[in-house]
Amino acid sequence: MVKQHSPRFLMISQLARDQVSEIDIETFLEMRSDGASLVVIDVRDEYETAGGFLEGAILMSKGILERDIEKLNISDDERIVLYCGGGFRSAMAAVSMQTMGWTNVHSLWGGWRAITSAGLPTNVKSQE
């Protein structure tokens, strides 16, 4: 099911997409297997990640990213890939991270849908 986004959301998303390094699932798969360090951050909301997330991803919703990202002590040049449901919110989050000083941030176009379509290993949050 493809979401219908509002024109203003699409406009601001496109502005963000134009400012960041956007990668497709094939590039992401190459990055995962090239042996270099890679931090993956799922920027979807908690109700979304409750249904599953990429194995090994850090869960940090776009709503708290700017506030909490520095707690992770990620170096400014660390290779980072952000993903959301489809690639719009992750692009906006990548712009924020770039503004904050990170220099090697990428947004995964296709996001969670691309991850699940590619058959990558996923986790589901345990009910505590």
Residue 47, domain CATH: 3.40.250.10
Given this model, what pLDDT does residue 77 score? 97
Q: Comparing 7-16, 58-67, 104-113, which segment has the lowest mean pLDDT?
A: 7-16
> pTM for the complete prediction?
0.92
Q: How far apart are CA 58 and CA 56, in angstroms?
A: 7
Q: How far apart are CA 57 and CA 45, in angstroms?
A: 14
| pLDDT confidence bin for 57, thresholds 50/70/90 | very high
- Residue 87 is part of which domain span? 21-119
Instruction: Measure CA of the first residue to CA of the last residue in the chain; give whole Å.
Output: 30
The answer to whether residues 81 and 23 touch, using CB atoms and an 8 Å cutoff, is yes
> Is residue 88 in a domain?
yes
Q: How far is CA 60 from the centre of its chain?
A: 9
Q: How many CB atoms lie within 10 A of CB 72?
A: 12
Given this model, what pLDDT does residue 109 score? 97
pLDDT over threshold 60, residue 107: yes
pLDDT over threshold 90, residue 125: no
> Is residue 72 in a domain?
yes
The mean pLDDT of the chain is: 94
**Mean local confidence (pLDDT), 4-31:** 94
> Is residue 2 in a domain?
no
CA distances from 24 to 40, 69, 77, 100 (A): 14, 24, 21, 24
pLDDT over threshold 90, residue 127: no
**Mean local confidence (pLDDT), 79-87:** 97
> Is residue 14 in a domain?
no
User: Per the structure, how many domains does the chain have?
Assistant: 1
Given this model, what pLDDT does residue 83 score? 98
Q: Which tokens belong to 96? A: 């924020």
> Is residue 62 in a domain?
yes
| pLDDT confidence bin for 126, thresholds 50/70/90 | low
> Is residue 83 in a domain?
yes
